[in-house]
Structure 1
């Protein structure tokens, strides 16, 4: 019985990752890797600072990975991905806009 479960699991992973491998699967995997990289960037930055920080690179990885995942969702017609990443990408873009705005305001204050 355990052997049957193992064979079924092998067949499942073969079907999902090998038999169905195409451009969109590769694109989706790259999108997920890019999206995951944001957590590594945030973790490394926080460890270096000795406190929790969210560097600008976190938001760029979020936006890049989110946009790619949104494109993947659109291509695959996945409504859960489309809704989730569509809304999340707006938040990432807004955070980048706020950071840029505040950096500009901070530099103007320093120039006075």
Structure 2
């Protein structure tokens, strides 16, 4: 199959739930039930008319999130939501086949408040 024209940019996303707890430097605890959203993008589509194989992305995201489920993240070296989003982006990057790239990681809480970590890899 022939690759789609590079005339357009495409984005697609997968989402997974994650319940975690942060401990602030002052000792206070903060729990969140997030919906983790990974947005990928590329110029054009591949030969299957997709940005990438999202079953693979979901598998890698699940494996990356499993150690964090129900944990105190500060004990795992992650101290705030931004560090969590960066950790997810860095951990998934090697699993994204070029020319697709991670565009952003969104942490969406139960009140639909969103923290977006935009990945700029050049």
Bigger relative CO (Cα 8 Å, ≥ 6 apart): 2
The TM-score with structure 1 as length reference comes to 0.26
- Normalised by the length of structure 2, the TM-score is 0.25
Greater share of helix: 1
